[in-house]
Copies of this chain bind each other. A is one copy, B any other.
Amino acid sequence: MTTRIDCQERDARDPLAALRDQFDLPQGVIYLDGNSLGARPRAALARAQHVIAQEWGHDLIRSWNTAGWFDLPRRLGDRLAPLIGAAAGEVVITDTTSVNLFKALAAALRMQAGDPQRAARRVLVTERSNFPTDIYMAQGLSSWLERGYTVRLVDSVEELPQAISDDTAVVMLTHVNYRTGYQHDMAATSALAHARGALIVWDLAHSAGAVPVDLHAGGADLAVGCTYKYLNGGPGAPAFIWVPTRHQARFQQPLSGWWGHAAPFAMTPHFTATDGIGRALCGTQPVVSLAMVECGLDVFAQTTMDAIRAKSLALTDLFIALVEQRCAAHPLALVTPRAHALRGSQVSFSHPHGYAVMAALIARGVIGDYREPAIMRFGFTPLYTSYADVWDAVEILRDILDRQAYDVHAKRDAVT
């Protein structure tokens, strides 16, 4: 049986252990919610102070040039690119995941509409279990395109092959499911979509910085994702959009603001999209929130996604094993796949009183979160989660369950 000493020994051998010092983590907290809001890189505070005091306060308007504010979406996109198998000039960090998904879906539909062989396709396929805003954005876009698109919601991964047919314009999937932690086989699913004549848009919200992603090898057509989860960019930090070089000339999106213009400061009254990834931009970006994204990326630059993945699987394997050993008497059911290839960097367990148990965990300093129905989510972030953290979290969970030390009438908070 594994002991806490075993866990401490694994921490002593962990090549990523030193990176934890680059994060500001509060005393008395085991933070297992980096899949929702990543912890704060220590450097983020100084970076923000510099942007606010020097670049904004002192240099004022000149910082658009001298501090490179205008180039931030592209420059930081280039730094993110290696984590997702993208090339330089294929990613910008900008706007929100929802807004970027709108751009990507609209562009994909237009690419299909421009192909005489595919112009009649009128269906977007996604999963009913996808993160809701992804479904909502697809519904919003569909309802505004008067040619009459519909969003087809698939109930299980097994049904995807039947659901993607010759009526399908675009498949839109989140690579790692926010609730279950299930990871799609990107290459196989992209190939399936392409074989049926569809384009595929991937949402990497729970993948970027969490699991190795190779968008090119995975056959993705377009992708979006989030920087404030595993990438530790800060609360609500701007999201990203990836447009591969091969699709850039055909990429047209309706949010055609001045930052996507070929000559934004020529102030001409007609929109002409710039070449390259810049055409995915729209309006002026929130510089302070955007600049801090770099501090998270700086930590990733000190390791590799393979090293992160190895530790992620070790942490999630350990958590599953310990919960199943030490909490075996309780009605916990593993929701996340056991197979490594199908697992992201989180573990979800259901429990009939999942919300109440999670509230009790949080009160004891073990911060995960809760998602309907009855699911407790635990995110494992190898940059700052230790094996001893896993042990301690399970012990606190066991204690709460053994003593029934949770309030079954706990009322759900507005947000978490």
Contact = CB atoms under 8 A, between A and B. Distances in A.
Given A52-B48, A98-B282, A255-B102, A265 B58 contact: no
Contact of A65 (B136, B266, B415): B415
B258 A26 contact: no
Contact of A372 (B137, B266, B287, B415): B266
A44 B52 contact: yes
A284 B101 CA distance: 13
B235 A140 contact: no
Contact of A128 (B33, B37, B51, B269): B269
Interface size class of A (residues with CB under 8 A): 35 or more
A64 B228 CA distance: 13
Interface stretch (A74-82, A163-171, A288-296, A305-313): A288-296
Interface string A140-162: 11011111000001000000000
B146 A255 contact: no
Contact of A49 (B45, B64, B130, B268): B45
A286 B237 contact: yes
A95 interface: yes
A175 interface: no
A57 B269 CA distance: 44
B283 A133 contact: yes
B56 A287 contact: no
Nearest to A272: B136
Contacts of A256: 136-137, 139-140
Interface in A208-243: 228, 234-239
Contacts of A70: 414-415
B271 A140 contact: yes
A26 B58 contact: yes
A386 interface: no
Nearest to A37: B61
Instruction: Kindly name the residue among A26, A61, A144 whose own CB sees the greatest number of chain B CB atoms within 10 A.
Output: A61
Given A55-B235, A133-B258, A234-B287, 12 more contacts: A26-B59, A45-B57, A65-B416, A69-B235, A98-B257, A137-B255, A139-B256, A140-B253, A143-B254, A146-B146, A265-B372, A265-B414
